Every structure is written in C-alpha cells, then in structure tokens.
Amino acid sequence: MTTSWSTAKGPRLARGLLCWATFCVAPLGWFVRGRFIRRLEPERLEAGLVLVLPGISIGLLRAFIEHRWGPTPGERTASVESNWVFGLLFLWNNLHIVHHLYPQMPWFEIPGFWARNRATLLAHNGHFVFRGYWQIARHWLFRPVFVPAHPAR
C-alpha cells in the first residue's frame, strides 16, 4: 500500500508547508514577475541563450572528466593537454593534477611546470591524461562515463 507524502509525514506538516508557500513564495514570485520578467525584451533573452548557455557548457566541459575514483588520491585527478586557447580560457586548470598538487601555484606558471615535470606528474596520477577535449567528446559524447557505484562495493 502506498501513502501520499502528506499522509506519510502528517497532514499538519503538509498544511504548514502550504501556508509557507502561500505567504512567502507566492509574493516573491509576484514581485519577480512584475519587476523583472515583464521588462525582459526578446533580445535580452536571446543574448542569454547565445552567451550564458555556451559559457556554462564550456565550464562543464572542463569539469566533466577531471575527477574519478581511484585507488590512491593521486590517481583521481585527470589532466587534459589541450591547446593554448582552452588552456588560457581555463587558466591552465585543465592540467588539473598540477592544480591539486600545488594549489598555491599561479596560473601562468602551470604550463611551464607541466612541461618540465610531465613524466613525474603522469606517474603520480596513473597516466590519467587526455590529448584534448575532442578526445573526450569522441569517447563520451553519447556514452556514460561510468556507472556510479560506491567504491567499497
């Protein structure tokens, strides 16, 4: 037998949440609708779609593959050897193992440090490195990266 949320938690809690939504959230929605949404022109919405969504997508692209589970902490951080455009865009945090090992290092010193110590850094992170973001996209654009499971199981 299934129970609804309100009967499982109690009708008193459901009434309290309904009152809270009515007296707090509804006036806020009315205020936002009247102050901001009515004044948005289509050009501003289009600019948001053209600028904001690609910006978020680029940020998520970098964060997509940088961390994984590994037997040692060093093997949990990837590096992406990308071109200088993406490197500069991400302030060289695409060389992520350097960022994790030396978080105090200024961003402009990361590429030189990576070039001088590449073999040592790759040995530390179990050679968890990609040649660029196209390699990541080709491999995982239409496939899951991994099936989430707790490492102890």
pLDDT at 4: 42
pLDDT at 92 > cutoff 80: yes
Q: Are 145 and 97 in contact (CB under 8 A)?
A: no
Residue 72: which pLDDT band, with cuts at 50, 70 and 90? Answer: confident
In the chain, helix, strand, coil percent, each to 5?
65, 5, 30
Do 29 and 79 fall into the same domain? no
- Residues 123-150: pLDDT tens digits? 998 998 999 888 888 887 787 766 667 6
Do 77 and 114 fall into the same domain? yes
Q: Stretch 31-49: mean pLDDT, rounded?
A: 60
Q: Within a domain: residue 147?
A: no
Number of domains in the chain: 2
Q: Within a domain: residue 136?
A: yes
Determine the structural domain holding residue 35 and report its residue range. Answer: 10-39
pLDDT at 7 > cutoff 60: no
Q: Within a domain: residue 86?
A: yes
Do 31 and 96 fall into the same domain? no
Do 73 and 131 fall into the same domain? yes
Q: Within a domain: residue 14?
A: yes
In this prediction the pTM is: 0.61
